[in-house]
């Protein structure tokens, strides 16, 4: 299958590079470091083994790219309007678009723009960053869960899982709504808290007060999900996420890096949208609404 990557950053770039390194046909859309990667290649410094793509197929416009069987979207969700404009040249009648993005409501909004499009959610469990041209640093974890939102071709969806596995990426199918809200259990507390307190994940958990607050925020996300009738998520998952984070190296999540590098923060889909969804069923995410307000102030 032919893959296209929109947003060749820390996440989309990593998974696309893994596929390309395993021999799959992958085209990359780049913006700020297009010329650098075209001339120098794409390097992945990984805890599971470094590798280098000396001549990746890189482009500066989707109009120059081939139509794809699968499009992996790693753009920040603040760029959704851009995505809607640049996506069409890549689409065939049966193209599957996988949104490897953070937040709630992304697939629903994309479907409204492209009613017949096959869409899936990509929930990445990975610690990676890209802070210089052409170099992706992969520090910890690396698996991905795929939630089927509207792909009617089950064989196509399964082939993506198989290709990821062949590329050395642990991948599995999960129920869509459960997957999105489970990701929010980690994302909503840690992304915002590292920004407003100017810290890293490890320090939040070493301090008893912030550790308690993080856990209470996680439970707030789970309560909201349960009110929305999301199945298969309870407080034991919060315990699991706390232990997973304790095992990580000190880490600055994507929103912290965006803030530090003076880039727009993904407040709408990460905070505003899930808070609004919870309000629709009568649940108030009070602690996370306060965190949302602090992030809006800082932005």
Residues belonging to the active site? 183
Decide: 178 and 163 in contact? Cβ < 8 Å.
Answer: no
Q: What is the dihedral of CA 146, 149, 151, 157, to 10 degrees?
A: 10
Q: How far apart are CA 256 and CA 10, in angstroms?
A: 14
Place of tokens 């509207």: 150
């Amino acid at each position: 299958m032919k893959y296209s990557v929109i947003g060749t950053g820390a996440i989309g770039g990593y998974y696309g590079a893994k596929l390309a390194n395993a021999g799959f046909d992958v085209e990359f859309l780049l913006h700020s470091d297009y010329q650098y990667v075209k001339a120098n290649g794409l390097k992945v410094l990984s805890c599971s083994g470094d590798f280098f793509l000396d001549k990746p197929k890189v482009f500066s416009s989707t109009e120059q790219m081939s139509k794809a069987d699968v499009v992996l979207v790693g753009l920040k969700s603040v760029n959704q309007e851009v995505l809607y404009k640049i996506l069409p040249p890549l689409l065939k009648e049966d193209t599957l678009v996988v949104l490897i993005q953070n937040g709630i409501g992304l697939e629903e909004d994309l479907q409204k723009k492209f009613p017949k499009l096959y869409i899936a959610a990509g929930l990445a469990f990975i610690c990676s960053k890209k802070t210089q041209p052409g170099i992706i640093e992969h520090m910890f974890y690396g698996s991905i869960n795929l939630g089927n939102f509207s792909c009617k071709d089950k064989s196509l969806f399964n082939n993506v899982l198989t290709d990821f596995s062949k590329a050395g990426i642990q991948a599995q199918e999960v129920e869509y709504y459960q997957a999105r809200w489970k990701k929010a259990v980690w994302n909503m507390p840690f992304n915002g808290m590292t920004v407003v307190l100017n810290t890293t994940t490890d320090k939040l958990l070493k301090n008893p007060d912030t550790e308690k607050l993080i856990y209470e925020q996680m439970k707030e996300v789970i309560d909201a999900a349960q009110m929305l009738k999301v199945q298969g998520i309870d407080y034991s998952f919060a315990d699991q996420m706390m232990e997973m984070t304790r095992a990580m190296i000190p880490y600055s999540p994507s929103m912290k890096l965006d803030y530090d590098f003076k880039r727009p923060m993904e407040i709408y889909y990460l905070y505003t949208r899930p808070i609004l969804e919870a309000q629709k069923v009568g649940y108030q995410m009070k602690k996370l609404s306060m965190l949302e307000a602090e992030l809006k102030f800082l932005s």
